[in-house]
Structures are given as structure tokens and as C-alpha cells.
A and B are shown apart, each in its own frame.
Chain A
Amino acid sequence: MDLELKEALSRQGIFTTTLEELYNWGRRSSVWPLTFGLACCAIEMIATSMARYDLARFGAEVFRPSPRQADLMIVAGTVTKKMAPQVVRLYNQMPEPKYVIAMGACAISGGPFKQGYNVLKGIDRYIPVDVHIPGCPPRPEALMDAFITLQKKIDAQSLTGADRPRHLNAEEPSEFIVPQYGAHDLEPPKNVKLWNIITKNIPNGPGTASDNEPRKD
């Protein structure tokens, strides 16, 4: 719909919408996170959902203890290599559309434990992350900012077309490789195909070219 016409109509008190906007409004206003805390960031996540910061204002106060009922996984804390398969398995069990917020330095990159032998260097090695929040731990305001960013992302998703999100495309996978405990490290140590999925919609991103080389790190 023409944006100018829409604005002109709304000035006259006539509000118009599209099915897509209505659908996305409903989705972003009732994102249910998974009850899932891994380390100290989880305490900030709990504080965010409580009275002082009140995540309920954004429709996300219903933390579900089952992945089957959750839309959003907040990876709040250090992901150890022992825990990583469980995190990926829980993500795989969530129904689509599903979103991930990597909360804190540990979930992004391993944080202060990056040199540790037992800490995963970022959960985005195995599952697609929508919003990263830096911080150690991030304050509740930062988590709310990430949540608002996610809401904007949901708002911008189109129902049809080639750039429609993953969950609307029957060919795109819903499950990702669950790593196994190997002799020295998780096997595989990272899911290289995943980065192509994430960066596919970014113009000139690494996934657009025939870029199947593993990321240097």
C-alpha cells in the first residue's frame, strides 16, 4: 500500500493496514521466550521479566518451560561445550518462526572464558542468532533494547517473495546439526553452512558469493 496515501488517510482518522502488518504485529507483540538460563546473564534476564523492568510491556512475560511453546531463545550466559548439544537440541525442538538472542559476551564469543578449553566460542557456531547483545552481563535495558530490535526485525519480515524469512520457506531447514562430543572438541566444531543462512539476505555479505570457506578465528 502506498505510504503517503496511508498517512493521509490516518490524518483523517482512517487507519489502514495490510494482512502482513497485522500478522507481524500479532507475532511481535506476543513473543514467548524459553525459560532457559545458563549463567549470570540469566539473573539479568530474570530481572528484566520482573516488576522493575517489566518485559510484559512488550508482550514477552510468558517464559515457557517447554521449547514446543516458545518462540524466542535467549541464550543467557556461558555456553560450555558440554551444554552446547543440549542448547542446539532445544533450539531444534522449538516450532517456527523461532528467534535467538545471544545475551552477553559469553554467548557471543566465549567472553572472558574464550581461551578456556571447555567454552564454546559463540553460540552462533551452531544456531542462527538474530540479535547479539554485548555486555558482561548486559543490563536489563540492554536486553530490552535487543528485544525491541527483534520486534523491528519481525515487523520487517515479509510473508511472500524471495526474501521471505526462513520459516516461510519449505526448503529451508528447521533443524541444525547437533554437535557430538568428540575426542578433543565438539564435532563438528562449527556449522559452516549456518553462516550462509544468516548472511544470505545481507547485500554483498559473505553468503552471497560462493563463500564456503570457514571463518578465520
Chain B
Amino acid sequence: MNSAFTHIYGPIAILMIAAVGFAIAPLAMAWLWSKKFSPRKPGPVKNATYECGLESNDAFLRFRPEYYLYAIVFLIFDVEAIFLLPFAVAFTGLTVGASIAMLIFLLLLVEGLVWTWRKGVLIWV
């Protein structure tokens, strides 16, 4: 029984060892070669995180709060428009609850529109 087992699987085991050796041998040779012929020379610039040539600076920049107006206008005219189209298409099939939820969403954004209008942001020139 045992001899039959090795008779069948022996060649496969030999092939497997050969396959693993075939894969590992070049890696081992490259590793040995680099030990002898490529001395490691690390340095502060070489080990730097970024590789665009510029030094990375502090990411804590000043971000002006006035830009909130642009964010409000963007929400009204871009994000709201995306939601309005499916809302209009599915309007007849919607339940009362869904319609109220959508209207609350619209009213919240309209509030922003009123705010920016009164601030004079919508006057172009």
C-alpha cells in the first residue's frame, strides 16, 4: 500500500520540489548578488516618502471660511438638480411619506437659496 502510494505521488513530489526550486533559485541568486555587488546606501532624500522632487510641507493650510457660500450654491444648483430629476420622474408613484421627505430636503436647500440671495451672492457683476 505504502510503496504504491510513493509510486504514484513520488514523481509529483519531485516535480513540486523542482518547481519551487525553479522559482526560488533566481530570487536567491538575485539576493546573493545584491549582497555582494550592490551595497545599500540609504539617505534622507532617498528614503523620503514622496518622489515628485518637491519636499512635502505641512498639510495644515489656511482654508478661508468665506467659501461656504460657494458650497451652498453648489448644493442648490448641482446636487439638488441631480435629485430633482429622479424625483420628478417617480413623482406619480411616490407615497405621501416619500414626498414629504423630499419636500423637507428641498426646503432645506431653498433656505440656503434665500440666504445667498439676501447676501447678494447671486448678483453676477
Contacts and interface: CB of A to CB of B under 8 A. Distances in A.
Interface of A: 23, 66-68, 85-87, 89-90, 92-93, 96, 159, 167-170, 173-175, 178
B46 A174 contact: yes
A111 to B, nearest CB: 22
Contact of B46 (A85, A87, A168, A175): A175
Contacts of B44: 175
A178 B45 contact: yes
A177 to B, nearest CB: 10
B118 interface: no
Interface of B: 37-39, 41, 43-46, 48, 51-55
Instruction: Give the interface SS of chain B, mostly helix, strand, loop or mixed.
Output: loop
Contacts of B54: 86, 89
Contacts, number: 43
A89 B38 contact: no
Given A174-B46, A175-B43, A178-B45, A90 B38 contact: no
Instruction: Give the interface SS of chain A, mostly helix, strand, loop or mixed.
Output: helix
A167 B41 CA distance: 9
Contacts of A169: 39
A18 B51 CA distance: 36
A127 to B, nearest CB: 12
A92 B54 CA distance: 12
A86 B46 contact: no
Contacts of B55: 89
B48 A93 contact: yes
A167 B38 contact: yes
Given A167-B38, A168-B38, A174 B43 contact: yes
7 contacts: A67-B51, A89-B48, A90-B53, A93-B45, A174-B41, A175-B45, A178-B45
A89 B41 contact: no
A92 B43 contact: yes
Contacts of B45: 89, 92-93, 175, 178
